[in-house]
Amino acid sequence: MIRDRASPNFGPRRDGLRPHMLVLHYTGMRDTEAALDRLCDPSAQVSAHYVICPRGRLWQLVPEEARAWHAGAGGWAGRSDINSRSIGIELVNTGAQPFPEPQMQVLERLMRDVMARHQIVPRDVIAHSDMAPERKEDPGPRFDWRRLARAGLALWPEGMGAERPLAESLDAIGYPSACAKKRLQAFRFRFYPWGTGAESKADRCRATAVAAAFIRD
């Protein structure tokens, strides 16, 4: 069951763009009502299409045909204005705890529906931190991307590739320009959450394997 909680924070998608991406977020807030209040507060100037609480309750704040204000500045695969190109889903979570099973089950069902409606492919399901590595960390290293991939809802290449320059691989995957440290962090959050410390051979080999899966037509 989808609950309606209309947010005033949206507008038309620009330049005739339609959603062909999904961006996943966490709210950074433990309290669901506080998160909904913020996403519906005109002074906050933020919103999302959907919000899912830890117990699996689902709210729709913005119609899918409209441009919600969830992504902000950044880019992916050489594209900007991600808000006009995407559907935004917020998960109520501070980033410091696991994502509960009821929340993940509802997320998977919602993603299947949204992706089918808009013909969104798993390659175009990204983290907020992917498209804005210098500003954002959500949904963070505790989010289970491998689970989504096993359900056919995201990409999670297994294994390692040949050692190649990390920057080249991150460019091929789609990461925007940012400082090397932040790009490495965003990559690890998404594809190598057990990586720590300075850039390593393991990071480079993992990124090569991921880049091969993101080759675009």
**Which residues are the active-site residues?**
90
131-156 burial, b at 16+ Cβ within 10 Å, e below that, comes to bbbbebbbbbbebbbeebbeeebbbb
C-beta of residue 47 within 8 angstroms of C-beta of residue 69: yes
Collect all residues with Cβ–Cβ distance below 8 Å to 20 and sequence separation of at least 6. 85, 86, 118, 119, 120, 124
> Phi and psi at residue 208, in whole multiples of 5°?
-65, -45
The span from the CA of 156 to the CA of 206, in Å, is 11
Q: Which residue matches tokens 């913005």?
A: 62
| 3-state SS, residue 142 | coil
